[in-house]
Structure 1
Amino acid sequence: MYDEILVPTDGSEAVETAIEHAFDLAATYDATVHALYVVDDTYGGAGLMGVDAQDTVSELRTMGEEAVDTIATRGEDRGLTVETAVNEGLPHEGILDYADDNGIDLLVMSSRGRSGVSRFVFGSVTERVVRLSDRPVLVVSRDVTDE
């Protein structure tokens, strides 16, 4: 049923439940998990407060690489095949493009990401992906105990 499962991440603990769901589904269907971090290269505010936009994107890319590498290690420890990618662009577009380019059968996403403004932004990314995707999207809520 599912051969390729995509789990986008923002590197936060809020994505943990989605990662576990993706792993469980991959184990059930002998699927490959794709861990994706999309660096928002339009990152708001870069350059406005003396921050170099390229430095900000570079820092976000490093964070993304750490996030997907962590998912890969955890998945491989469970005997799963995990592909990783860190791309740049608008997050929802990057997720949808990756899904198209890699024959993704199912996207597994968190209903929330980081706290504060980032949490709002990630939630809106999930909403956009759900609205625009032509493939199934499983939206996983964080455990209530995490709040």
Structure 2
Amino acid sequence: MYEHILFPTDGSDGAAAALAHARTLAETHNATLHIMTVLDTSSPHIGMTAAGPEGATTGMTVEEHDESESGMVGEEHNIESSLQERSQAIVDAAADEVDAVDTVTAVERGPPHSAILDYADEHDIDLIVMGTHGRTGIERYLLGSVAEKVVRTSDVPVLTARLGDDEG
């Protein structure tokens, strides 16, 4: 039924909860598991990493920049290079956790929900499995939700897994 399953991750606990589902489905269907993260180049923070203020994320991988950074071109390149390495480490760590499954890893760039949907289209993905942070109320309204945008606009089925209260 599924040949290619996409697991977008930001390296957070919520994403880790969804990884178990993605692994089980990939094993059950002998599918290739595509593990990806996105450098959010639409953000003034130029990236997405699970560590933000109080663990919040604004996309896939969010890196808050230190105010002491002068913004020199060379320093911006070092920041982007660092974010690329950190993003690659996130997908590599997830791939290591599902070592019995055939995996493909990728670091994409752009607005997270668009990059996820574009990747799904380009790689004939049959199912997207992703975690949610379980935000509610005003926080959800103000921050938005990558998972929610993907669910609403995806042409393929999307399985979401929410981090339980006893997890993380």
Runs (5+) with no aligned partner, structure 2: 47-64
Partner of 2:41: 41
- More helix as a share of residues: 1
TM-fit CA distance, 1:41? 1.5
SS of 1:140's partner is: strand
Which residue of the other structure, out of 72, 84, 101, is the alignment partner of 2:122?
101
TM-fit CA distance, 1:11? 1.3
- The 8 Å contact of residues 43 and 57 in structure 1, kept in 2 or not, is answered as no
Letter in 1 for 2:24: D
Seen in structure 2, the aligned counterparts of structure 1 residues 21 and 84 have a Cα distance that, compared at 3 Å, is same
Runs (5+) with no aligned partner, structure 1: none
**1:1-147 paired onto structure 2 within 5 Å:** 1-45=1-45, 49=67, 50-51=70-71, 52-76=75-99, 79-112=100-133, 121=143, 124-146=145-167
TM-score, normalized by length of structure 1?
A: 0.84
Cα-to-partner distance string for 1:34-68 (whole Å, 9 max, x where unaligned): 00011011332468943454333322211110011
Mapped to 2, the partners of 1:142 and 1:48 lie a distance apart of 29
- The 8 Å contact of residues 8 and 95 in structure 1, kept in 2 or not, is answered as yes
- The 8 Å contact of residues 40 and 57 in structure 1, kept in 2 or not, is answered as no
Rg comparison, structure with higher value:
2
Partner of 2:58: none
Instruction: Give the percent of matched residue pairs that are identical in Structure 1 and Structure 2.
Output: 40
SS of 1:38's partner is: strand
SS of 2:42's partner is: coil
Letter in 2 for 1:37: T
Higher mean C-alpha displacement, 44-53 vs 81-90? 44-53
Instruction: Please tell me the root mean square deviation across aligned C-alpha atoms, in Å.
Output: 2.3
Cα-to-partner distance string for 1:112-133 (whole Å, 9 max, x where unaligned): 29xxx9xx85x61111111110
